[in-house]
Structure 1
Amino acid sequence: MEKGQVALPLTLLDKRQELNLAPEDLGYLLLALAACKENISVEELAQNPWIKWSLAHGWACWEGKRISFAPLWRNLYLLWEKEEKAKTSHVVCEQFEYGKIIKWLDQVRGSLSVTLKEKQILQEFNLKYGWSTDFILIFLQLCFTRGQNIPRKYQPIAKKVYLQGIQTIDELAAFMSNLDWIYYQVSEVKKCVGQYGGVTTPQREMYLKWTNQWKFSHQVIMRAAEETVRTNNPSFRYIDGILKDWYQKQVTNVSEAEKALREHDRQKPQKVVRTTGRKRISRVDQRDWEKILGIE
């Protein structure tokens, strides 16, 4: 305050309505600001009606023995930040290549499959999350490779990505890899036994039983999967039977699994093949897991 004048930020005048300040409220704030510029005691500050009004309405606070108008400036900053985000969203919207994403989805699915609801979700990724076209495309590609290829599956993942504050492609790839690591492992088992497509809930639960309850490593599980390929009916049920046998034998690693397989080979029955009066002993080519494991 100098010669009866108080400097008032123009921003405060511009944002008066957004701050819900009536003209008289603005006057009270000016008087409170002016009082703080005067060399008065703490007791006088506490008794000043304009300062008391500012404190009561949350525009000021005590900081030690002085009055701070940090709450007022904080509200002004939040309004400015909101405007900047709105400007950024507008720019993103202008650069957003919506048709490029729709075209990619149609090509991957092999049909014009994008519904109105899915279009709204994609627009939300851009307008609400601030994602660029390329970021959305990479996100969708990572989701689709994991079988999350419909909105009700990939939308919750997008929300998690947004809440984690992920903004770069590297961060996104790392997040997705950690998020669906079990999916990758189950998919590898499925591929080994000649099955393709998304991972089902029973398959995931069975895999979690092998790892969490029976404490098998992924390498041991894959060895069991490889063994089922030599049968007529490789499947998760077959793998489960082999792993159950190994669990009962307290197999804990691949070396012990190989040892269990060799013991199984030695215990296999032999069959006699008669040819021109001579006896020839031949080993059964296919391990008869059905009989041992009780799988029909």
Structure 2
Amino acid sequence: MSFTLETTDMDLGDTPIENIFINDFMPMANGTYVKVYLLGYKYAHDRDEKIEVNNQIIAKHLEIPLEDVLRAWDFWESKGIIKKIAVNEEDKYNYKVKFLNLKQLYIKNNLSLFNNKEETIKKPKSITPQDLIDANQIPAINKMFNRIDDIMRRQTQTTEKQKILSWIQDYNMNPDVIEKAFSYGVERKGVRNINYIEGIIRNWYDSGLTNMETVIEHFRTQDEKFYRYQKVMRALGFDNRTISQGEMKVIDKWFEEYKFSLEMVLKGCESSSKTANPSVNYIDGVLKSWNEKNIKTLEDIEEKDKPKEKKEYKVAKPSQIKNVPLKTRFHNFQQRSDKYTAEELDNIVENIARKKREAYNQKAKGEV
């Protein structure tokens, strides 16, 4: 005799998640890292030995690159809430993940603070040269380093790149956000210093600005000028190019001297599609023309910036054109026949013909 439970075809179970994770750890991570943690935690909670799970399966299930899964485990390990247990020393990507009990960590952490001992949660590991080599194989990170070199106007050193790479780990910053921090520090503040840029990154992290949407919104409310520069350059297709001081002055003129709204400026930027080489100076010509015509709204463009009408020249229809012959000095010539009658002309022709016959006959007889 035995007892069994019927199982369902669908997964209708529950996975309990500790509130410590939701309250303390989830806000510091991006969405991808959270999804990897939750799916891995679910597999760990199921405890079904028949189900074999690895990082490739997680990547396929979440429809994300394998590199994102590996970075997620590195991130959570740096926060001290999981442990990676190596299975094969030769294969660094093949490891087991052990989820630590967050309540127990919390208690130990508070006890250690109370007893002035070291914190239990591990400190983030430092970036090694090999980590830098591996990271450069990721297109987004490689692009980030190239853009930083362009913004800084010099080649960043290996130690600087290691430090920049650590920001992704320590502050959970996406590469495009780090690019924007360099752009903001150099273009807006005029500072080309790695430590200064890290200060910007730290302030953004403390303010919850960890993705481009929140950073751009922050510019809109806290630094309107820089927000304008970014919107104009993006409208012109130059969002990956450093803006010059001269271009900043021209853009400032549109708002401060011409008093144009951002909507009007972006409308002017649309005219860049008419030229093969769009530029801030080209748009300046368009907006200067609008300012001179007192065009201040989109409605004014329709009314006051219409193209000049071309003069229409009347062309006579083919049926209206008369064929008048060209007159020359020969039009006054009168034929000799005009003064003879028809009967007189017949006699003249007959006499000419008769004389030709007589001349021919005489020639034939040898008289001529």
Pair member with larger Rg: 2
Q: TM-score, normalised by structure 1?
A: 0.45
Q: TM-score, normalised by structure 2?
A: 0.38
